[in-house]
Amino acid sequence: MNSEYNVDVVVIGSGPAGYSSAFRCADLGLNTVLVERYSNVGGVCVNVGCIPSKAFLHIAKVIREAADLSHQGVFFNSPVIKIEKLRLWKEKKIKSISSNISLMAKRRNIEVILGLGKFITSSSMRIVSEKKISTVYFKYAIIAVGSKSVKLPYLKYDNPKIWNSTKSLNMEYIPKRLLIIGGGIIGLEMATVYSAIGSQVDIVDSSQVTLPFLDNDIVYTYLKLSKKMFDYKSNTSILNVEDKDSFFIVKMKNRDGKIYVNKYDNILAAVGRFPSTSELNLDLIGVKLDNFGFIKVDDQQRTNIPHIFAIGDVAGKPMLAHKGIYEGHIAAEVISGKNVYFDPKVIPSVAYTDPEIAWVGITEKEAISKNISYEVSIFPWVASGRAIVSNSSSGLTKLIFNKVTKKIIGGVIIGNNAGELLSEITLAIEMGCDAEDIALTIHAHPTLSESICLASQIFQGTVTDIPNLKSKLETN
């Protein structure tokens, strides 16, 4: 069965960037088709990434919080995990979200075509599935095909005990011993999940520094708090992986030359992701890529071919869903004739670990490297009443201010619900707020969010919840 479509816009990829862009196009009156190669819309994020990982991270958080309550005299039986029921619950939630995306597309009169799409000219695309071949002729195209896991050459991925992030989220069973290769955000989140549900987890990372984009004090705090969950070995390389059918013998060496030989039931490779551009025939139509395989775009998300746009992971780092959604709106609005640009001051990031780490804007490291006159203001959660009674007093809120202008230029939070708290800092930076704007905004008490206000008061020299180190300076 063959079908032909003549549309204003074709969007390739139905992840958060793709479906958001398609929906915005339709809302702006553009006749839009959405192409998805897999059977369910929502992309990696909804089906095998962000959403299922957060589902399991929620379970992990509840397990740990229940265990922590034993210190307050509240005891629960050890959790009994029925893995099949847990997996079915996850799949039900994913199906619900994916179905809602399909429903929103239908309500906007967007045709969703399932199949693998490839450009045949700069104004046409062929989509092939098992049931039919479709040809789409378009005025504009938006590429939003996302990214794939990087594969390590020494691992045999046809072995079901060798996992990438997708396989780890299938949750078919709980390994007794799990090795995670790669100590980035994905690796740390999966370690958080599997250690909570019963696996003994080791993380091995070849980098000298853990989470090198964060300041050392934040990394130190995180590693100190997480060391009970898993063993983290930085600056350690894998020498050999021997497959013994039912388990693996892994030989590794650390920075000091010490050799480790350990036995594992499963290995999860989480060493990064790369853009999924290889199957689109981009070379055929002349779309230019950079040296890392990302599609080159301008500040309106245009490629070198003016009527073809790229958004999300394929358009460059940071490879974050919320960045892709923002870009998707920009592309749709540019196509509709609006004079808009991708120009956010900052893009927030979150590691949904335990504890969570959330950061935005300039770090202390960056301020030093860019020769910015700055001042750090840290409010420790041990001085927060809400944190103390919520078993999260080990967290902290760190703000970076420009010392000359007094404006907030960056911030990081480590602790319970850090990702939710970060939005205030992000908004403050976007609005150009200075320390006084935040310090004089009344925050609800007792809350974790007031730590942002209190950190600003520390900078102002008006804090009363902890010793005011600037009070003597005020009186002189």
Annotated binding site: 54, 117, 182-189, 272, 313, 319-322
Residue stretches of the annotated binding site for FAD:
54, 117, 313, 319-322
User: Which sequence positions are flagged as catalytic?
Assistant: 445
Residue stretches of the annotated binding site for NAD(+):
182-189, 272
Q: CB count, 10 Å around CB of 454? A: 24
What does residue 123 show for φ and ψ, rounded to 5 degrees? -130, 15
d(CA 47, CA 312): 16
d(CA 347, CA 322): 8
CB 264 within 8 A of CB 250: yes
**Lookup: tokens for 392:** 């999260």
SS3 of the chain: the string is: CEEEEEEEEEEECCCHHHHHHHHHHHHCCCCEEEEECCCCCCHHHHHHCHHHHHHHHHHHHHHHHHHHHHHHCCCCCCCCCCHHHHHHHHHHHHHHHHHHHHHHHHHCCCEEEECEEEEEECCEEEEECCCCEEEEEEEEEEECCCEEECCCCCCCCCCCCEECHHHHCCCCCCCCEEEEECCCHHHHHHHHHHHHCCCEEEEECCCCCCCCCCCHHHHHHHHHHHCCCEEEECCCEEEEEEECCCCEEEEEECCCCCEEEEEECEEEECCCEEECCCCCCHHHHCCCECCCCCECCCCCCECCCCCEEECHHHHCCCCCHHHHHHHHHHHHHHHCCCCCCCCCCCCCEEECCCCEEEEEECCHHHHHHCCCCEEEEEEEHHHCHHHHHCCCCCCEEEEEEECCCCEEEEEEEEECCHHHHHHHHHHHHHCCCEHHHHHCCCCCCCCCCHHHHHHHHHHHCCCCCCCCCCHHHHHC
What does residue 371 show for φ and ψ, rounded to 5 degrees? 60, 40
